[in-house]
Amino acid sequence: MPNVPKSRGSRRSPRFGDSVFINCPFDREYWPIFEAIIFCTVDCGFVPRSAFQLTDSGEVRVHKLRDLIRACKYAIHDLSRVELSSTSGLPRFNMPFEFGLDLGARYYGAGMLQSKKCLVLVAEAYAHQKAISDISGQDPKPHRNSPDEAIQSVRDWLQGVSGRVTIPGPAKIKRRFKAFSDVIPMLATAAGLDRHRLSFIDYVQLIEQWIRGTAG
């Protein structure tokens, strides 16, 4: 069982080498994949960090993103929602924009920023080439809108780029994600939370609590 590093809500901020920036869509249809990515990241022994945790209204958002990206050695960028919106008729630029900020930190930053690593996810293989062909060299991984496929890609990538031998196998993480998903309503209720209105930090803390409770 991997150790669970302290999250952002803990007394000390997580280390650069433990932190994974999650840049994913926030729509309802994507939510099961988002939760699977977060769970997999924690179960592998890392600390997921997201724009969802940025709550300081007094700071410019791009500055908050800059600081968050600079604090993470690893990043997961899902570019599966760059199609035209049915309401506005425009594509969604947030994910490609944050992906560009992350690459910029790696290419133009100094010191440990040059060691940054990223994983690019897409819904279907090669679909991204219609919108952002310049990332083809990044070898995007398709999740086919499946939480299990997303777990497989995230787990394999984290193991490869970190070299950690404590990371569980993908089948084990998938089983544990299902088990956690089955009990999260009960965990949320016990913590005085609404399962359908969990903040990012609440969700991460429930995962950490469950992992600690199942260790041994």
Average pLDDT over residues 169-198: 96
Q: Which CATH class is domain 16-214?
A: alpha beta
Q: Which amino acid is at 144?
A: R
- In angstroms, the CA 10 to CA 138 distance is 34
pTM value is: 0.86
The predicted structure's pLDDT at residue 73 = 98
The most confident of the ranges 27-31, 44-48, 119-123 is 44-48
pLDDT tier for residue 58 given thresholds of 50, 70 and 90: low
Which of 93-102, 166-175, 178-187 is the least confident region?
93-102
**For residue 126, pLDDT beyond 70:** no
More confident call, 63 vs 36: 36
Which of 7-21, 107-121, 179-193 is the least confident region?
7-21
Average pLDDT, the chain: 86
**For residue 20, pLDDT beyond 80:** yes
The answer to whether 198 touches 206, Cβ cutoff 8 Å, is yes
64 alpha carbon, distance to own chain's centre: 17
Closest C-alpha to 133, from 96, 177, 186, 175: 96
The predicted structure's pLDDT at residue 6 = 44
The predicted structure's pLDDT at residue 52 = 78
Instruction: Render pLDDT for 129-164 as a digit per residue (tens, 0 to 9).
Output: 555 555 555 678 889 999 999 999 999 999 999 999
Closest C-alpha to 41, from 9, 82, 72, 81: 72
User: In sequence order, which residues have a C-beta less than 8 Å from that of residue 14 and are 6 or more positions away?
Assistant: 5, 6, 7, 8, 47, 49
The predicted structure's pLDDT at residue 16 = 97
**For residue 10, pLDDT beyond 90:** no
At 97, is the secondary structure helix, strand, or coil?
helix
**What share of the chain in percent tops pLDDT 70?**
80
The token pair at 198 is: 């969990």
**What share of the chain in percent tops pLDDT 90?**
62
- In angstroms, the CA 110 to CA 197 distance is 39
pLDDT tier for residue 25 given thresholds of 50, 70 and 90: confident
